[in-house]
Amino acid sequence: MKEDDVAKRAFAMPLTSPAYPVGPYKFYNREYLIITYRTDMDKLRAVVPEPLMVEEPIVKYEFIRMPDSTGFGNYTESGQVIPVTFNGRKGGYTHCMFLDDHPPIAGGRELWGFPKKLGSPKLQVHSDTLIGELRYGPLLVAVGTMGYKHKEADLAAVKASMEIPNWLLKIIPHVDGTPSICEIVEYYLSDINLKGAWTGPGQLELFHHALAPIAELPVLEVLSATHILADLTLDLGKVVHDYLT
């Protein structure tokens, strides 16, 4: 293979059989259970990197079912998103994510900087309850429950909440272990076709685990639970802050 051929083909690893295809990355019938809760402000500030700023002690715990996504396939995801501001703009900082499919783990980390690790999340309906679960190995680390479709949500407000900016801390090391890339990435969801959104009573339990430390942001009070179904596109990002320059 010639040097020019390598440069033309190199967008992901491995070179001759990339872990994921070139985007755009579209999702159909993407389903969310989002439980918003109040937590400890000092612990929240300790995990959010400047220049992102925390203004209130709020966390959004998400279980996301993605049965049909271009390039990434059929998978489920779970993790914490923290409402923050950046240069006066409100958005969300993704603190941690656990999922059960290799292409979006590799692509999410390499392209955007999503903090993805391998886990075993589930989102399903059992009788009258929407249930989200996350296991790390054999151990249960999160359980979220919500009354199934008790009340229709304000669709305009839900769609507006999905259109806000999102920020990630992307870290790629040099071969010597020092950081080669260390930056804040901004991205958006687009082409949002909101098919439905509902609210209802919700509860969330987090359990301590050395390698899945989601309970380090403890649940002090559950504020709301929202169930969302939508088609959308996950857009590529842009660098808005570089820690190495």
Reported as a single tens digit per residue, the pLDDT across 202-232 is: 999 999 999 999 999 999 999 999 999 999 9
The residues near 145 (Cβ < 8 Å, ≥ 6 apart) are: 129, 130, 131, 132, 202, 203, 204
User: Out of 2-6, 49-53, 57-61, which region has the weakest mean confidence (pLDDT)?
Assistant: 2-6
Q: What is the average pLDDT across 3-19?
A: 94
Q: What is the average pLDDT across 47-76?
A: 98
Q: What is the average pLDDT across 101-120?
A: 98
Amino acid 229: pLDDT = 98
Q: Quote the distance between the C-alpha of residue 243 and its chain's center.
A: 22
List the catalytic residue out of 116, 117, 122, 195. 116
Percent of the chain with pLDDT over 70: 100
**Which tokens hold the place of 27?**
């999702």
pLDDT band at residue 75, thresholds of 50, 70 and 90?
very high
Q: What is the average pLDDT across 22-50?
A: 97
State the greatest distance between any 2 C-alpha atoms of the chain, in Å, as a whole number.
61
25-235 under CATH 2.40.400.10, yes or no: yes
- Residue-averaged pLDDT of the chain: 97
Does 116 participate in catalysis according to the annotation? yes
Tell me the C-alpha distance between 115 and 13, whole Å.
Answer: 18
Reported as a single tens digit per residue, the pLDDT across 135-189 is: 999 999 999 999 999 999 999 999 999 999 999 999 999 999 999 999 999 999 9
